[in-house]
Amino acid sequence: TQVEKAGYKHFMAKEIAEQPVVLGDALRHYLTLDGVNLPPELDFSSIERLTLVACGTAFYACSVAKYWFETLAGIPCEIDVASEFRYREPPMPIQSYALFVSQSGETADTLAALRYCAGKVAKTVAVVNVPSSSIAREADLALPILAGVEVGVASTKAFTCQLLALAVMALKAGRDRGHLTKVQFDGHLDTLRAMPGLMNAALTTADDIAKLAEQLAEAQDILFLGRGPMYPLALEGALKLKEISYIHAEGYASGELKHGPIALIDRTVPVIVMAPHDKLFDKTVSNMQEVMARHGKVLLVTDGKGVASAAEGTWAHLRMPEVAEPFAPLLYALPAQLLAYYTAIAKGTDVDQPRNLAKSVTVE
Ligand code: G6P
């Protein structure tokens, strides 16, 4: 079936905007009234390690999920980009699951990584958007992310749907291993159920973001900072921005700022801080103040509490609705995508077909 832009200027704009609906559909598939709907053979109780492998945006979804599998389920979790993983001959404990996350299900390196693991681990699991894809067919088990067709080269709704499928798995793992109480588990399910509504609220910042983007478009370099599960989201924000606006952007762990990138800071460098008011917020704020002391232009993306306590002295801030830990990356993905989108619009680049990039990389 032909996918249309449905009144939007670009597929990317449409795909960003439809996330509340698409994520709602995925939630209806993966959440039941009192639990999660995952194949019973996906049992994490005696699994000693997880390995998550992917490329590009899907790799950043894995990087967020590592925090979730560790904190929610207590499973040691290894992540790598497929092009490294496939050649470094990693030892694979048999009591482990290997997960391969891919929108297309056809990325050559990810497929090769899957083939490397076949027979070495208890189960290979594909997390894909295209159920008929090579990666889905070759894995022992395939889980759909249910994002619908994604046309924009820069992945948006597939990213949040990958995060959702991985979050649901991490919660099941938490229950299987007795790491989460039923009350904690139910609380996390409620957070996920609230996500489409929160995403709708996040999308209302689009006009403010479009205005900020006109100034971001003047920059040569942009830094993204985050801590905890927001660190990989900072990496994804930087990837999205460089992919479509061609501005050099880097994501950094807030705490690593002083080990290098702070040397770059001056009045011309925007620093985008992705920081919900969570238990690490104060630490991130002190990193942000180090930037401000050097006249860096801070854009703080936070919630109401974060705005009240830390927005003073920043160049600008964006207010997100409050979201319970540790699922903020699902929500903060949206302002990150919108910042990239509107900066690219301000620069006049080809948003849906950025130069030199392909939607699916089926050769090495
Ligand atoms: C390309 C696309 C990215 C995508 C990556 C991995 O680089 O431009 O948007 O994240 O491939 O693709 P996959 O289909 O495996 O998720």
Query: Is pLDDT above 80 for 2?
Result: no
* Burial letters 65-85, b for 16+ CB under 10 A, else e: bbbbbebbbebebbbbbbbeb
pLDDT band at residue 228 using 50, 70 and 90 as cut-offs: very high
pLDDT band at residue 238 using 50, 70 and 90 as cut-offs: very high
Nearest residue (by CA) to ligand 1, atom 15, is: 102
Question: What is the model's pLDDT at position 353?
Answer: 86
Question: What is the model's pLDDT at position 187?
Answer: 98
155 lines ligand 1 (CB under 6 A): yes
The whole model's pTM is what? 0.97
Which of 57, 145, 235, 337 is the pocket-test mutation for ligand 1 (most atoms within 8 Å of CB)? 57
Query: Is pLDDT above 70 for 257?
Result: yes
CA 304 to chain CA mean position, Å: 22
Q: Cis omega before residue 335 (within 30°)?
A: no
Three-state SS at 220: coil
55 Cβ contact partners less than 8 Å away, ≥ 6 residues apart? 81, 82, 83, 102, 107, 109, 110, 361
Nearest atom, ligand 1, residue 57 CA: 10
321 DSSP 8-state letter? P
Query: Is pLDDT above 90 for 34?
Result: no
Nearest residue (by CA) to ligand 1, atom 3, is: 56
Q: What is the CA radius of gyration of the chain?
A: 20
The span from the CA of 14 to the CA of 20, in Å, is: 11
Nearest atom, ligand 1, residue 54 CA: 15
CA 327 to chain CA mean position, Å: 10
Q: Is 359 a catalytic residue?
A: yes
The sign of the dihedral angle between the CA atoms of 314, 316, 322, 324 is negative
Closest CA to 176 of 288, 332, 262, 69: 69
The rounded mean pLDDT for the chain is 96
Nearest atom, ligand 1, residue 155 CA: 9
pLDDT band at residue 358 using 50, 70 and 90 as cut-offs: confident
337 lines ligand 1 (CB under 6 A): no
Question: What is the model's pLDDT at position 362?
Answer: 86
Query: Is pLDDT above 90 for 360?
Result: no
Query: Is pLDDT above 60 for 1?
Result: no
Q: For residue range 72-114, what is the model confidence (pLDDT) as tens digits?
A: 999 999 999 999 999 999 999 999 999 999 999 999 999 999 9
Which of 64, 107, 153, 243 is the pocket-test mutation for ligand 1 (most atoms within 8 Å of CB)? 107
